[in-house]
């Protein structure tokens, strides 16, 4: 099954992407994760992307489309994949469609994670990430046992630069302008399914499994 996770930052796409990927044994392709890794390593891609990411702006379409086309050409994607955070603009969606059409393939379902803005803001600004192993915590919802320290590996927890309040507001504004039109784009193709990103991780996962099974994707 070829799935796209669509929705504003903070709607839970990344968390469900990881869980679904484990459960259905298909790759989770997150453009945000790929770009963050490139920034961390200081590769040419990372150097190009860093300023856009730190300010909450989108990385140019041609850069991200290239990343995804490359990822989808890997062998592991034959049984399906979960695209998380891509496409984010109409241009990206059209280029994705064109690239898949060339392979006689296509997207089976787009899951639209709907969430009230205030919950997204609270989730993002409270998020803390381990510098060493990348585990995610939240100052209120998933607090670490010892403040500022990762429960899993003892690494230091930090706030992503783009999770600061001002940048979060900019990311949400950009989502509204550049990404929201994709809801209609996929609705017109009859492959959009709306789910509640405000549900807790387990409940939303259950709902997604049900949706896949009803759509006979699994
Ligand atoms: P995310 O972790 O998905 O919120 O992505 C973090 C940041 O990476 C975004 O704020 C953008 O700067 C960049 N990014 C990720 N995916 C895309 C995309 N599809 N198009 C443009 N920029 C992206």
Q: Is 46 helix (H, G, I), strand (E, B) or coil?
A: helix
CA of 80 to the centre of ligand 1 (A): 22
Element (H, E) at 101: helix 90-102
d(CA 150, CA 58): 29
- Asked whether residue 196 is domain-assigned, the answer is yes
- Asked whether residue 66 is domain-assigned, the answer is yes
Which residue has the CA at smallest separation from atom 15 of ligand 1? 32
The answer to whether 125 and 165 are in contact (CB under 8 A) is yes
Sheet strands side by side (includes 109-114):
28-30, 81-84, 2-6, 109-114, 192-196
Percent of the chain with pLDDT over 70: 100
- Over residues 21-64, the pLDDT tens digits come to 999 999 999 999 999 999 999 999 999 999 999 999 999 999 99
pLDDT tier at 166, thresholds 50, 70, 90: very high
Exposure string over 15-49, b if 16+ CB within 10 A, otherwise e: bbbbbbbeebebbbbbbbbbbbebbeeeeebbeeb
Report the pLDDT averaged over residues 179-190: 98
Ligand 1: residues whose CB is within 6 Å?
A: 9, 31-32, 35, 52-53, 56-59, 64, 85-86, 88, 92, 162, 171
The answer to whether 46 and 40 are in contact (CB under 8 A) is yes
d(CA 106, CA 116): 30
d(CA 102, CA 94): 12
Predicted confidence at residue 173, as pLDDT, reads 97
d(CA 26, CA 13): 15
Predicted confidence at residue 39, as pLDDT, reads 95
Range of the domain at 9: 2-115+169-214
pLDDT tier at 184, thresholds 50, 70, 90: very high
d(CA 123, CA 102): 39
The answer to whether 201 and 15 are in contact (CB under 8 A) is yes
Where does the chain show beta strands of DSSP type E?
A: 2-6, 28-30, 81-84, 109-114, 127-130, 136-138, 157-158, 192-196
Predicted confidence at residue 63, as pLDDT, reads 96
Tell me how many domains the chain contains: 1
- Asked whether residue 81 is domain-assigned, the answer is yes
- Asked whether residue 138 is domain-assigned, the answer is no
- Asked whether residue 86 is domain-assigned, the answer is yes
Predicted confidence at residue 56, as pLDDT, reads 93
pLDDT tier at 134, thresholds 50, 70, 90: confident
Which CATH number does the domain housing residue 11 bear?
A: 3.40.50.300
- Asked whether residue 152 is domain-assigned, the answer is no
Predicted confidence at residue 23, as pLDDT, reads 97
d(CA 197, CA 207): 11
CA of 214 to the centre of ligand 1 (A): 31
Q: Is the pLDDT confidence value at 176 over 90?
A: yes
């Amino acid at each position: 099954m070829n799935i796209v996770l669509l929705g504003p930052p903070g709607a839970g796409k990344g968390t469900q992407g990881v869980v679904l990927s484990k459960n259905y044994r298909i790759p989770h392709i997150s453009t945000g994760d790929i770009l963050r890794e490139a920034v961390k390593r200081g590769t040419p891609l990372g150097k190009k992307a860093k300023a856009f990411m730190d300010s909450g702006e989108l990385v140019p379409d041609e850069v991200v489309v290239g990343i995804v086309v490359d990822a989808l050409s890997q062998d592991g994607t034959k049984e399906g994949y979960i695209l998380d955070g891509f496409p984010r603009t109409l241009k990206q969606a059209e280029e994705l469609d064109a690239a898949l059409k060339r392979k006689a393939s296509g997207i089976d379902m787009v899951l639209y994670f709907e969430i009230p803005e205030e919950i997204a803001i609270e989730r993002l600004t409270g998020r803390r990430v381990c510098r060493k192993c990348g585990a995610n915590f939240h100052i209120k919802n998933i607090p670490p046992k010892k403040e500022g320290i990762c429960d899993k590996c003892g690494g230091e927890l930090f706030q992503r630069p783009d999770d600061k309040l001002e940048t979060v507001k900019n990311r949400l504004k950009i989502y509204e302008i550049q990404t929201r039109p994709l809801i209609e784009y996929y609705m017109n193709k009859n492959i959009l399914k709306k789910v509640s990103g405000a549900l807790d991780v387990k409940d939303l996962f259950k709902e997604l499994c049900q949706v896949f099974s009803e759509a006979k994707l699994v």
